[in-house]
Chain A
């Protein structure tokens, strides 16, 4: 490896550039039909469409001392603006890493196309005065192009060259984005020496072409003939995918190719494996100063905690004690790192650290009292799904404590101040994690079907002769429901009461609200509301709505179709007991019937049992979501079901005077 790398390396026949073909007309030339186009056949109503997006990558001789090669990208993108709403796509921002000049953007050209009054194509060049560099922070900047002469109907096009002073990683190519893409092409032309693995996140048709050619390459002034591998990937007619209610990381839905350098092939069977195995990655991590080394540290000032913990005999309680002590003491400086920043000793002294530091402290202390605990690498729900065959640590954005237990395991995150012990945190439940366990690590699916989002409501109402309703609603929130409600309550009790209890119910007069176990981490969180209200009367009928203090006032699922999953992460269980007492002289005219509803695949169900004994009515409602996510295919059924649940909950109790 060394031998070759020390040579300077120049490819004489570098990438042939982007080839003109039927889907991609040359820069500056446009088919009039694209300017006349009013809508996108495969994604009607879109505000803008990527007509084509083509990129290629190849290697060139490096310009900085340490890098022998640099990666060169050419990118050309053409976008049609269809509506006023799509005008923002004419403000193009290209991020780049400007630290140490590691990335450079050159050869920028951009044009706007319009049709003039006579139906002729009018091309406007984008001059330098419309191109800016916007500094984002110390490391990143954005190249900003404000396209002139843009209105709905216009087409914009830009191209540029990006030089990166690296040869070990290739940028991910996204075929798809939030607006539709008609044609996307990525070409990869790399000497056979470098073997990249392409990791696809692809569901639709992709066209792949591969070609090996012999090219003359200048290595330190001498020409060598070497194999150059060229691959071309093409996808067409991809719909735009945007965020939807309860959708997970959007990037999981944008089809893409990721690349990983796996081997160096020196020919004649001489192949050098690069650190591509997880085993190797974990070994490196364990030796790394900001990771493995931290776990070995001796923390000063932990004696009291450790000795208190060692008195506890029950292992579960012992772990809990340490967990609570750490989360009580430590505050979070910033999140989403798998490495420590200033180290756990300093963090412990300051009472403040990043998420890795806080959880390493937890692991460190658990180990000190003889509890087996180790880091688990995770990617939170918003960060996207992990592909284990892709051995890049950048897939992870969280590290927590994995604690094996007699009846399974705990996943503990000491940065979470309110999560009930030992619930798997919501942002990682039902995702995949990598336990840092010798020798090669172990993958685990964090499935937990025993803990759900659980809400149990007891609603008791008594009505007097004047139609005054006096009631009490007692709600117990458990597991994930507790975690969510308690967090929101502790953040601002007054706002919680206002938003959750008072505001949604204009005809309910809240007389008292109590919270039980608001500050406890292991008991369920309860909310007790006393209220009064008044029967509504129309003609001879008296009625009232008992759909109060539930989470089903209206459906968040209005759209007819969906492209992303509904990703709750957990299962849900709601039980509502209602007990209504009506005064002498009144009789029930009707009340909600006993009924069972379920989706075709039985993954969601609703049941209601009702009955009266003259002046007393009892209802029991059960709503169960038996999956932690619902796919776009299940959506139409799911949406209808949700609507039916709300309709049923809004059914009212109707009374008459005898």
Chain B
């Protein structure tokens, strides 16, 4: 599915472009609009005129004053253009503080290049970063987009961080019978509605909005800021008629696109049935097919025209042994059907910090397709683009979301599984043979799952393995090491270190509490966070480290046991001495129980993780007898 283009600043719009030169010089900006602001939207008017279910014109007129270098991002133009969304007349003017026009640009002055990371795509981006060495500077954007097909509609992006808004509006004109639907996000704002010659006119407007700060690590940008989403009822794209007024109907549209894409040649049906003939349950059969696909098919992104939405046929994928998310999910579905197992393609908005789509507002916000296999109350979800995922494990890329299942009865919105800390684990058990000279041999049993799992670790180059151990897994830097294991995720790692102690002072050695540091990341500091914070996943990391002390040494002092908590996390560490065996055993465990931390818990969360990081500075003290 096509990746949505995120506009760095929102699309602004025009009412009338005329005699604006003199209007550019603005009166003194009120203090309330200066606070936290590096840019000010002086004036913004967007107009979206819907002519039919497949035709519309979107025009933007916007005047922004950028106050200083830190507002530089707002001196940028970015817009995409493709078959269904054609960027037309563009005029951009820059003015100095006195209102004198400095520069003027048109579409041909923009840099254009292909968009996204797909191997093949016909979507192009038009970009220009304007530069200045003198602030403030005012830039005026005027441009038009012609819509051919109305799956997507522009949204009214009211405000971005570090930007205040003096005056802004968005107008949508639509045939009153066709109408649109809308939804306000992060703002309470209702449109004025009027009627003109059979058309319904919606107008949203705002004045004098103070700027807000940017907060790192929050929900994805398109859900983060004040915005009005608009969506069609009946629509058309490339000749495919659809209706978005309910999820059922929207699902029907996608089903229509994917019709007749599921045919497999007879010999392939035979082959697949042969492949699963010894499996007992449907789940085992599905697993065999999934693994067969993982070993023989790969993800290749090809997005051309309607191909951005409509999957390649199963026979194409069968022939090429590749496809994108739509094509591979469609193919997996066809394979399962060939052995008599029912499954549904599921549209989803992927990425760990995306907001689940709203059940009460059907809207095209999806960018990915996965497969749902109902399997008799043991619903299994499959990510068909990964050569390495475990069967039935989605990960936070698509967990915690609402997926639109494409069924015979149309679309059905269904929740995907919640992310669980027990699915993302790193467990270490290390035995350190410590020598009198401070050197040591360390035997470690390491088990990883979920997001800690590396599918390539065993076969990686040695330096890549070392980076995985030290950077990803938090191991102390070894001088030498060797990895053994039969399958990915379970390893025996033998390490050698010339100097095990953190430092030596006189007759004493000061030892690290354990072989792995369980938490190292530093989190943004904030006293008054307003947005929830998103970790990639919830997780459990545990470490048991045994120091076998050299014969000439005994334990002198150990730190007291630790126990830190906050609402969504806990950490325990215990340090014990076994005098008989002359060994120190430390047992520790860090758990984050959910990956979304509410803004009001942010401070307690950073305090918690700071405590965990600081704990690694504690020392186990041993001394020569």
Contact = CB atoms under 8 A, between A and B. Distances in A.
Contacts of B296: 149, 151
A141 B134 CA distance: 37
Contacts of B300: 91, 146
B617 interface: yes
B153 interface: no
A350 B456 contact: no
Given A91-B300, A146-B302, A150-B298, A543 B510 contact: yes
A91 B298 CA distance: 11
A417 B505 CA distance: 48
B15 interface: no
B563 interface: no
A138 interface: yes
Interface in A284-332: 328-332
Interface string B590-625: 000000000000000000011101100111110000
Given A87-B298, A150-B298, A543 B619 contact: yes
Contacts of A46: 461
A506 B69 contact: no
Contacts of B611: 506
Given A135-B114, A149-B321, A536-B619, A558 B525 contact: no
A134 B120 contact: yes
Interface residues of A, number: 63
A148 B109 CA distance: 39
B16 interface: no
A560 B467 CA distance: 10
B455 A331 contact: no
A489 B68 CA distance: 15
Given A137-B113, A332-B131, A652 B510 contact: yes
Closest 9 CB pairs of A and B: A539-B557, A503-B522, A590-B505, A45-B461, A331-B133, A506-B613, A148-B320, A506-B610, A507-B614
B503 A504 contact: no
A559 B459 contact: no
B463 A559 contact: yes
Residue among B298, B502, B506 with max Cβ neighbours from chain A (10 Å):
B298
Contacts of B551: none
A144 B69 contact: no
Sorting the interface of chain B by its residue count into under 10, 10 to 19, 20 to 34 or 35 or more gives 35 or more
B558 A539 contact: yes
Contacts of A42: none
Contact of A647 (B102, B462, B499): B499
Nearest to B526: A498
B283 to A, nearest CB: 25
A299 to B, nearest CB: 16
Q: Report which residue of B466, B505, B620 has the largest number of chain A beta carbons within 10 angstroms of its beta carbon.
A: B505
A384 interface: no
Interface in B447-463: 455-456, 459-463
B161 to A, nearest CB: 12
Contacts of A590: 505-506, 508
A101 to B, nearest CB: 20
Given A507-B610, A536-B617, A498 B298 contact: no
Interface string A497-538: 010001110110000000000000000000000000000101
A651 B504 CA distance: 8
Interface string A220-261: 000000000000000000000000000000000000000000
A352 B112 CA distance: 21
A83 B456 contact: yes
Nearest to B522: A503
Nearest to A653: B505
B387 A651 contact: no
A502 B522 CA distance: 9
B524 interface: yes
Contacts of A134: 114, 119-121
B456 A84 contact: yes
Interface string A343-368: 00000001110000000000000000
Contact of A350 (B70, B103, B320, B617): B103
B21 interface: no
Contact of A351 (B134, B455, B461, B463): B134
A46 B278 CA distance: 37
A366 B342 CA distance: 78
B25 interface: no
A431 to B, nearest CB: 26
A84 to B, nearest CB: 5
Nearest to B321: A149
A561 B463 contact: yes
Interface string A126-145: 00011010111110000010
Contacts of B131: 331-333, 352
A420 to B, nearest CB: 19
A69 B488 CA distance: 57
Contact of B522 (A332, A351, A506, A651): A506
B322 interface: yes
Contact of A558 (B455, B467, B502, B503): B467
A594 B194 CA distance: 83
B557 A507 contact: no
B471 interface: yes
B503 A651 contact: yes
A140 B181 CA distance: 42
Contact of B133 (A137, A146, A329, A541): A329
Contacts of B302: 132, 146
Interface in B281-339: 295-296, 298, 300, 302, 316, 319-322
A138 B112 contact: yes
Given A91-B119, A146-B320, A560-B463, A540 B134 contact: no
Of A85, A329, A589, most buried by chain B (CB within 10 Å of CB) is A85
Nearest to A533: B614
A149 B120 CA distance: 18
A176 to B, nearest CB: 17
Interface string A529-567: 000000010111101010000000001001111000000
B459 A45 contact: yes
B559 interface: yes
Contacts of A352: 103, 131-133
A45 B322 contact: no
Contacts of A561: 463
B505 A84 contact: no
Contacts of B471: 558
A541 B618 contact: no
B463 A650 contact: no
A539 B614 contact: no
B57 to A, nearest CB: 26
A535 B185 CA distance: 48
A150 B522 contact: no
Given A328-B133, A506-B610, A83 B466 contact: no
Contacts of B618: 536, 538
A507 B614 CA distance: 6
21 contacts: A45-B460, A83-B456, A90-B298, A93-B119, A136-B114, A146-B120, A148-B321, A149-B296, A151-B296, A151-B321, A351-B102, A352-B133, A506-B522, A536-B619, A538-B618, A538-B620, A539-B556, A559-B467, A647-B499, A650-B502, A654-B508
B78 interface: no
A585 interface: no
A343 to B, nearest CB: 15
A555 B466 CA distance: 13
A578 to B, nearest CB: 15
B189 interface: no
B221 interface: no
A597 interface: no
A555 B467 CA distance: 12
Nearest to A651: B503
A269 interface: no
B321 A540 contact: no
B104 to A, nearest CB: 11
Contacts of A33: none
Contacts of A589: 505-506
